[in-house]
Chains A and B, each alone.
Chain A
Amino acid sequence: MSATWFRGPIAWAIAAIVVLLGALSFFVVVPETEQAVILRMRKPIATINAYQPGEQFGRTGAGVVFRIPFFDQVIMIDKRVLDIELTNQPVLSTDQLRLEVDAYARFRVVDPLRMYQTAISEKRVGEQLTPLFASALRNELGKRTFAALLSPERGQVMDNIQNALQKLASQYGVQIVDVRIKHADLPSGSPLDSAYARMRTARGQEAATIRAQGQKDATIIRANASAQAAKIYADSFGKDPEFYNFFRAMKSYQITFLNQAQDKGQTQIILSPNNSYLQQFINPR
């Protein structure tokens, strides 16, 4: 009976699991997304799968690593591109404009051992880099005018911040991949309101200019038309000014004397017998 018991399934399973765990504790899997520092009796002996620029997946150091249980300690450090964000950093530009800046930096741990020695974990690296990033940002933006941020110089600004931050980050075994300014905005309150007021007046100016331009165009159009009409008259009537005088006078008499509209006066005519119209009447030839 006793022998059966020891051959029992539960015991076997337990034994197998214990053996398996024991065997597995000799190995550690380092995935592609991590890099590892191996400490033997608290002394670093190797780094596994450390970042190499331009390496190809499948040919990296990722994979199974041998270790001695209890003596070796494997520290995993993220190998991917990580980020730190700065939000609503108040910045004063050289032209005394207050700005609120959001920026981010992307970084990668390239020297896992140094990073472990200086900061233990990648999370703490981020925490330690954040104030450095903020001061690098403020230093650089404090040297610029607000307008420089809104120009192609913006790229130069970001490069300078990246370089300044890189110098500090190298102490942590960290490579700054990229620094970018996300927002550079006027803080809400009076700066924003005055910007709005400026926009409003600028639009008011534009509207007034447009109206005045329209008025000007209209006057020019009228003047041109009058001039052209005068030219047409002159061209036509200039052929015989004397006849024009006669013809226009006739037309004028008709209009003046025959207009019987309400507000015009009635016409009385007193003729002298010497009138040329009555010439035949008085003295027929």
Chain B
Amino acid sequence: MAIRFGRPAWASNTPNEPPKSPWGGGGNGAGDDASGGGKGAGDGKGGSGGGGPRNPWSLPPGGPRRGAGGGGGGFDDLFRRARRGGGFPPGIPFGPQVWWLIAGGLLLLWIALTTVHSIGTQERGVVTTFGRYSTTLEPGWSVTFPAPISSVTVINIQNVREENFPDGSGENLMITGDQNIVDLAFQVRWDISNAPDFAFQIKDPKATVRAVAESAMRAAVSRASLNETIGSGRTTIEAQVQLQMQQILDEYNSGIHVLGVAISKAAAPQQVDEAFKDVTAAQQDAQGLRNTANAYAQQVLANAEGDAAEFDKIYEQYKLAPEVTRRRIYYETMENVLSRTDKVIVEAPGVTPYLPLPAVKRREAEPDIEVQGKRPGATK
């Protein structure tokens, strides 16, 4: 239609006739014009055929041509230009065949792109045909029906996902079995054991894993005491949580596999940290007291053993010659004592001795000690 209408306009306008005699052109194609004019009016393109001639004074020399171009629409122009510019040789008709070629090419491309699927080693492709699950693609290149018929969801099943609790920083407080509060941070690692289940069973798998982990961890902590949670019981709790998470997720048929649970931090909350540190300090203090006592004990025992050994050795000798040994020891001791002390011997009874006590000048408080003439050993 556009082509048919455009051609006469083109032919008549190229000579660039003066605006006064546009009807000459119109008169030439009278046979065509009857239909052309009608169509033109209907299409709103009357500017070239009707409007121009009626108001000749207002039209510049190029007016009709411009009118034809503008009014004729992009298609008209496009076809003309294609023909003139040599996009196609003039001999070959430009028409449906080309469009068929383009459409066919696009279709082939579409099919090629949507039938061949490249699945990586970590991935599985879940194939649904008309919405129904048909198969799971293993790693490698696979062929399915093209797109609207089959659709493939590629799921990376071996990629280890990590969920951290708490998400970000801050405290994650939980109540332990003995009604204490513990600040616990942990991590859950999971991957996918069953791709179709993962794709079809759970609406939001990640949120599900998080909720299940939170619930299982709090359940496990609520069965343990604070000391177990902070100290020795960690591995038990981790194992319990992993087991329970897996159990719950299996109940949901989620196709999720829990690889592991790791408690990264289990400590007393900030507010009571000082009190907890004091317990550690008390343990150190108590150990310190024990150490001092042990040192003292070692000393006392060593002294006792030394004294006893000394006595035993001497007693052995004493038994061989009691009288002589006793005398010897007595004299040696007296020698030792008297040779290095000031001594006065008072012979006559009633003589008051002069006591040159140098010690009195220095120290009066200390009473002097007298050794009265007693036989050694006579006391008992």
- Hey, which bits of chain A sit against chain B, CB under 8 A? 1-2, 4-5, 7-9, 12-13, 29-33, 57-58, 60, 62-64, 78-83, 85, 104, 106, 146-147, 149-152, 154-155, 177-178, 180-186, 192, 195-196, 198-200, 202-204, 206-208, 210-211, 213-215, 217-219, 221-222, 224-226, 228-230, 232-233, 235-237, 239-247, 249-250, 253-254, 256-258, 260, 264-278
B337 adjacent to A257 (CB under 8 Å): yes
B373 adjacent to A211 (CB under 8 Å): no
State A263–B175 Cα separation when bound (angstroms). 65
B362 adjacent to A266 (CB under 8 Å): yes
**Given A196-B269, A246-B326, A265 and B359 contact (CB-CB distance below 8 Å):** yes
A253 adjacent to B337 (CB under 8 Å): yes
State A250–B310 Cα separation when bound (angstroms). 14
When distances are taken between beta carbons in the complex, the residues of chain A under 8 Å from B219 are 154-155, 181
A63 adjacent to B132 (CB under 8 Å): yes
Partner of A63, one of B130, B369, B379: B130
When distances are taken between beta carbons in the complex, the residues of chain B under 8 Å from A79 are 200
When distances are taken between beta carbons in the complex, the residues of chain B under 8 Å from A210 are 279, 282-283, 285-286
Q: Does B288 contact A (CB under 8 A)?
A: yes
A207 adjacent to B282 (CB under 8 Å): yes
**Given A178-B251, A181-B218, A150 and B175 contact (CB-CB distance below 8 Å):** yes
Partner of B290, one of A81, A150, A218, A269: A218
On chain B, the number of residues with a Cβ less than 8 Å from chain A's Cβ atoms is 122
Interface residues of B in 253-282 (CB under 8 A from A): 254, 268-269, 271-272, 274-276, 278-279, 281-282
When distances are taken between beta carbons in the complex, the residues of chain A under 8 Å from B58 are none
Partner of B288, one of A178, A214, A270: A214
Residue ID in chain A nearest B347 by CB atoms: A273
A32 adjacent to B131 (CB under 8 Å): yes
When distances are taken between beta carbons in the complex, the residues of chain B under 8 Å from A31 are 128, 131-132
The number of inter-chain residue pairs (CB within 8 angstroms) is 336
When distances are taken between beta carbons in the complex, the residues of chain B under 8 Å from A62 are 128, 131-133
State A151–B218 Cα separation when bound (angstroms). 11
Q: Does B345 contact A (CB under 8 A)?
A: yes
Partner of B314, one of A195, A199, A247, A266: A247
Q: Does B109 contact A (CB under 8 A)?
A: no
Partner of A207, one of B272, B278, B353: B278
**Given A200-B275, A232-B304, A271-B345, A185 and B340 contact (CB-CB distance below 8 Å):** no
Q: Could you show 14 A-B contacts with beta carbons less than 8 Å apart?
A: A32-B131, A57-B196, A83-B211, A185-B175, A210-B286, A221-B290, A229-B303, A247-B314, A253-B337, A260-B340, A266-B358, A266-B363, A268-B341, A275-B373
B345 adjacent to A64 (CB under 8 Å): no
